[in-house]
Every structure is written in C-alpha cells, then in structure tokens.
Amino acid sequence: MINPRITRRTPVIMQGVTGRAGRSHFQLMRAYGTNIVAGVSPRAAGAQIDGVPLFGTCAQAVAATGAKVSILFVGADQLLAAIDEAVGAGIEMLVTPTEGMPVHDALQAKRLTLARGVTWIGASTPGMAVPGEAKLGFLPDSTLAPGQLGIMSKSGTLSYEAGYRLVQHGIGQSVWIGVGGDPVKGVRFADLVPFFGADAQTEAVLIIGEIGGTEEEEFAHALRAHAFAKPAFALIAGRSAPEGVSMGHAGALVHGVHGTYAAKKAALEAAGATVFGSLGEMTGGIVAALRR
C-alpha cells in the first residue's frame, strides 16, 4: 500500500538542487522542516549547499544517506531519465513538480515505477505535505495546517484556495497530495483510497478534480471497492469548459462523452461522495461536517 506519511525525520534527497527553482525550493522546504540530507548534481559533486552534501549520482546519494525519498526539480526533457536513475538507485517514493513532461515519457515512467513498486507523485504537481512535519514541493505554507482532512488535488492553485479557506475556518490537513494535472501520472486519486481509509489522523477526504480523464470515476469506484467509511468530498473544476479545448492542464480535455462534469458528478454521488458546486459551498459543507 502507498504510504506517503513522511515526517520531519524522513531523509530526503533532492535531484536538480542547483538550478534556479531547485535552489530556492531547497531552502523553502528545509525552512518548513523537510530533512533534506543530500543533493544530486553531476556537475557539483563534492560541493555542499548550506551544509548539505552534493553527490554526482542518485546511487551515491542513496548509498551515503540511506534515503528512500527523492524530490526532483529537473527539466521536462530530462525528467524520464532522472526518474529512471532514482528508481534504479532504490528510491521508493519520488515527487516530480516539473511541468510539461511529454505524455509518452510519462507512459514510460509509469511503467518503470509500477514495475518496481515505487510511489511516484507527479508530474505537474505542486507536491505533497504532511502539515507540521515536512513538505516535498511548493505547497504554500499559508495553506498548510495540521488537521483531520486528507486532500488530493489535480490542481495546485485551486487546492491552495480551498486549503486556505478551510484553514481559516479551523480545518487543517492530515496529508495533502497534489496528484497533478497531467493525463498520465504516477499516483492517482484511487490509489490513495486505501491509505486515507486506514490513516488514523484522517477523518474525511477532499478530492479537487477537473473535467477530462476518468480519475474521479476511478476514485468513486475505489470508495466502494474498499468500503471507504469516512466522508468523501469533491470539488470539480471546468463544468462550463468547451469540448476539445484544454484549459491549461493537458489532462483537462473533454472529447465526446468522456471526462464530462456530469459523468464525474454522477459517479461520485452514486458512491456516496458529496460534490460541491462552488468554493463557498465546499467551505460551508466541510466546516459543518467536521467542526466540533
């Protein structure tokens, strides 16, 4: 079973630590509490950043630190190779915020990680966090607070907005996972149902979905298959989008009857989930259900 519950002690390596974005998020993640024990940089091997050693390869970083988790700030054209390297080095969970990964590369990365039982979060994700412990990626600190709601989201910004509003009403998160908006990705909503079902800190889950694909329908199916006994909430963006045009996220493309808002809403409601029509409705509904 996938277990994304990292702590402030979990050792993490970072691939792509020397780039512009990598450098800045390295500092932000450490400031939040993430235990980054090594960086990987073929060009800067042997050097250090803020006291953290850099290695030339993933395998060396893993051998030196025993880390099983990697966060990758690597360009889209190099991402497949970097994932391959991480999997080969024995990494068991990897988070890839990179936007713009070619979908056929994602197919290969999916096969690689599935074959080795590796948990891949991404691509095109703002990352994940266990609030109060650690974060991998760039979920804004202002939206994070320890609490009882498990969040899974295809969209970064919409989840920030939702998380922020709920935190203002006293609802924090147990674990927050951005699955990302790409059509082919690592972890999907449905894959996380067993974890959230068993996780003691999670009292309810919220999925933030979008039109396109079938992930929301798969999630609905998984709720039933795993007899998920906690409240499940959903917010789905894009109900007024035209067919055949993707709005920002490559995955959010409706063609024909596939991926429509109506199909997703019906599947979720049939599985006992509550689908909210707006951010305001969502905040009110979740606060009423969870606040004591």
Partner 1 sequence: MYLLEHDAKTLLAAWGIAVPAGCLVESVDALDEAALPPGPWVVKAQVPAGGRGKAGLVRAAEARADLRSLVAAMLGQAHRGHTVRSCRIESRRDSAHEAYVGFMLAPESGEVRILVAASGGMDVEASAAVRSKLAAPQSQALAAAVGELAASAPPRVREAITQAGAQLGEVFLRRDAVLVEVNPLFVSADGGWLAGDAKMVLDDNALGRQQEVSTLLAARSHAYAETWLKTQHGCDYVVVDADGELGLLTTGAGLSMMLIDELRAAGIRPYNFLDVRTGGLRGDASRLVAVLNWIAEGRKVRCVLVNVFAGITHLGEFARLLLQALGQAPVLKVPVITRLVGNGLDEARALLGEAGIVVEPDLDKALALVRAALSKQHDTTQVRQR
Minimal distance in Å, beta carbon 280 to partner 1? 6
Q: Which is nearer to partner 1, 45 or 247 (CB)?
A: 247
Distance CA 196, CA 149 (A): 9
Among 250, 267, 268, 286, contact with partner 1 (rule: CB under 8 A): 250
Our finding on whether 101 is near partner 1 (CB under 8 A) is: yes
Minimal distance in Å, beta carbon 87 to partner 1? 13
Q: Which is nearer to partner 1, 184 or 290 (CB)?
A: 184
Minimal distance in Å, beta carbon 18 to partner 1? 18
**Are 93 and 119 spatial neighbours (Cβ–Cβ below 8 Å)?**
yes
Our finding on whether 194 is near partner 1 (CB under 8 A) is: no
Count the residues of the shown chain that bind partner 1, applying the rule CB under 8 A: 67
* Other residues' Cβ atoms within 10 Å of the Cβ of residue 266: 14
Q: Which residue in 235, 200, 203 sits closest to 219, CA to CA?
A: 235
| Six token digits for residue 70 | 């990697």
Q: Which is nearer to partner 1, 37 or 97 (CB)?
A: 97
Q: Which stretch binds partner 1 (CB under 8 A): 40-48, 80-88, 222-230, 239-247?
A: 239-247
Q: Which is nearer to partner 1, 24 or 48 (CB)?
A: 24
| Six token digits for residue 37 | 């024990």
* Other residues' Cβ atoms within 10 Å of the Cβ of residue 245: 9
Q: Which is nearer to partner 1, 120 or 195 (CB)?
A: 120
Our finding on whether 222 is near partner 1 (CB under 8 A) is: no
Among 2, 76, 266, 289, contact with partner 1 (rule: CB under 8 A): 76
Residue 41's alpha-carbon distances to 1, 15, 57, 74, in angstroms, are: 31, 7, 7, 11
Among 66, 77, 81, 262, contact with partner 1 (rule: CB under 8 A): 77
233 pairs with which residues across the strands? 206, 274
Q: Which residue in 206, 204, 171 sits closest to 292, CA to CA?
A: 171
Residues with Cβ within 8 Å of residue 137, at least 6 apart in sequence? 25, 29, 71, 95, 97, 125, 126, 127, 128, 129, 178
| Residues 51, 144, 240: CA angle, nearest 5 degrees | 125
Our finding on whether 126 is near partner 1 (CB under 8 A) is: yes
Q: Which stretch binds partner 1 (CB under 8 A): 7-15, 34-42, 82-90, 271-279?
A: 271-279
Our finding on whether 42 is near partner 1 (CB under 8 A) is: no
**Are 4 and 175 spatial neighbours (Cβ–Cβ below 8 Å)?**
yes
Q: Which is nearer to partner 1, 54 or 286 (CB)?
A: 286
Our finding on whether 247 is near partner 1 (CB under 8 A) is: yes
Q: Which residues are catalytic?
A: 249
Minimal distance in Å, beta carbon 45 to partner 1? 28
Strands (E), 87-230: 93-96, 119-122, 127-130, 134-137, 146-153, 173-178, 204-210
Our finding on whether 57 is near partner 1 (CB under 8 A) is: no
Strands 127-130 and 173-178: antiparallel
> Which positions lie near partner 1, rule CB under 8 A?
28, 76-77, 100-104, 106-111, 114, 126, 138-140, 142-143, 153-161, 164, 181, 183-185, 188, 208, 210-211, 213-215, 218, 235, 237-250, 252-253, 255-257, 277-280
